[in-house]
Amino acid sequence: MVTPSNSRRRVGVLALQGDVIEHLRSLETVGAEPVRVRRPEDLQRLDGIVIPGGESTTIDKLARIFEVRDPLVAALREGLPAYGSCAGMILLADRITGGTHDQQTFGGLDITVRRNAFGRQLDSFETDLDLDLDDQPQQPFHAVFIRAPWVEKVGGDVRVVGRVHLADPAAGSVDDAAGGAIVAVRQEQLLATSFHPEVSGDPRLHAYFLRMLD
């Protein structure tokens, strides 16, 4: 499908640290107009924003230094759609465990997220996931996890989109009744994944986020 350039969705990528270029490329691939966001004025006229993977404590600090934190938090409260991958999931979470003592999140997603949840042995790993993206064909999604968080608790309005099933029984305590650690969630206009679709090159999550903007 060819989308006329004047109707492309303007989607920001918070460009302070992390997988910025990879997200800009993924957004191009799915037909959005990607925009780097560093300063408050960059938030103007956005249809949505991506908070990239990287280091959530660093992005948090830089967002305060660049004075983009408060306007971004306000925009999220006003309903700016957002997609966070990995560190971005942490930054969109209302509650965080395993954060540094002064770490803040932008918030919006009614979840409790645990930083670096998979522990040392599973620092980085790749696995195929079944994601519940409602209108997507159920081809497994090849997911790359790098010092990833998982979601420990979800509020009532949060839909679980994906889980990872841990082979290690020692990690079984994270498994809830439905089985598996929660690694992808959606709450209305907010989407978050523990993994990095911008790294694996599968465009389906970015395409899904773009459809959320319609």
Ligand X SMILES: NC(=O)CC[C@H](N)C(=O)O
**Residues with active-site annotation:** 86, 196, 198
Candidates 29, 116, 189, 200; binder of ligand X (CB under 6 A) is 116
Q: How many CB atoms lie within 10 A of CB 135?
A: 6
- Inter-CA distances, 100 with 80, 90, 95, 178, Å: 27, 12, 13, 30
Candidates 46, 87, 93, 96; binder of ligand X (CB under 6 A) is 87
- The verdict on 205 binding ligand X (CB under 6 A) reads no
- The verdict on 114 binding ligand X (CB under 6 A) reads no
- Specify whether the CB–CB gap between 193 and 86 falls below 8 A: yes
Rounded CA-CA distance 145/170 in Å is 19
Q: Is 146 known to sit in a ligand binding site?
A: yes
- The verdict on 95 binding ligand X (CB under 6 A) reads no
For residue 55, give the nearest of 96, 109, 107, 18 by alpha carbon. 18
Element (H, E) at 41: none
Judged by CB under 6 A, which stretch of 7-15, 25-33, 50-58, 162-170 contacts ligand X?
50-58
Candidates 56, 105, 187, 193; binder of ligand X (CB under 6 A) is 56
Judged by CB under 6 A, which stretch of 9-17, 54-62, 65-73, 125-133 contacts ligand X?
54-62
- The verdict on 108 binding ligand X (CB under 6 A) reads no
Q: Is residue 54 left, alpha or beta, with left meaning phi > 0 and alpha meaning psi from -120 to 50? A: left
Cα dihedral value 145, 205, 14, 144, nearest 10: 10
Residue showing tokens 């694996």: 200
Q: For residues 12 and 54, which CB has a smaller minimum distance to ligand X in the complex?
A: 54
- The verdict on 90 binding ligand X (CB under 6 A) reads yes
- The verdict on 54 binding ligand X (CB under 6 A) reads yes
Burial 60-99 (b: 16+ CB within 10 A, else e): bbbbeebebbebbbebbeeebbbbbbbbbbbbbbbbbeeb
* Region 147-166 residues binding ligand X, contact defined as CB under 6 A: 147
Q: Is 31 known to sit in a ligand binding site?
A: no
Q: For residues 51 and 133, which CB has a smaller minimum distance to ligand X in the complex?
A: 51
- Specify whether the CB–CB gap between 17 and 58 falls below 8 A: yes
Candidates 80, 86, 181, 183; binder of ligand X (CB under 6 A) is 86
Q: Site residues (CB under 6 A) for ligand X?
A: 53-56, 86-87, 90, 115-116, 146-147
Annotated binding site for L-glutamine: 54-56, 115, 146-147
Annotation: binding site: 54-56, 115, 146-147
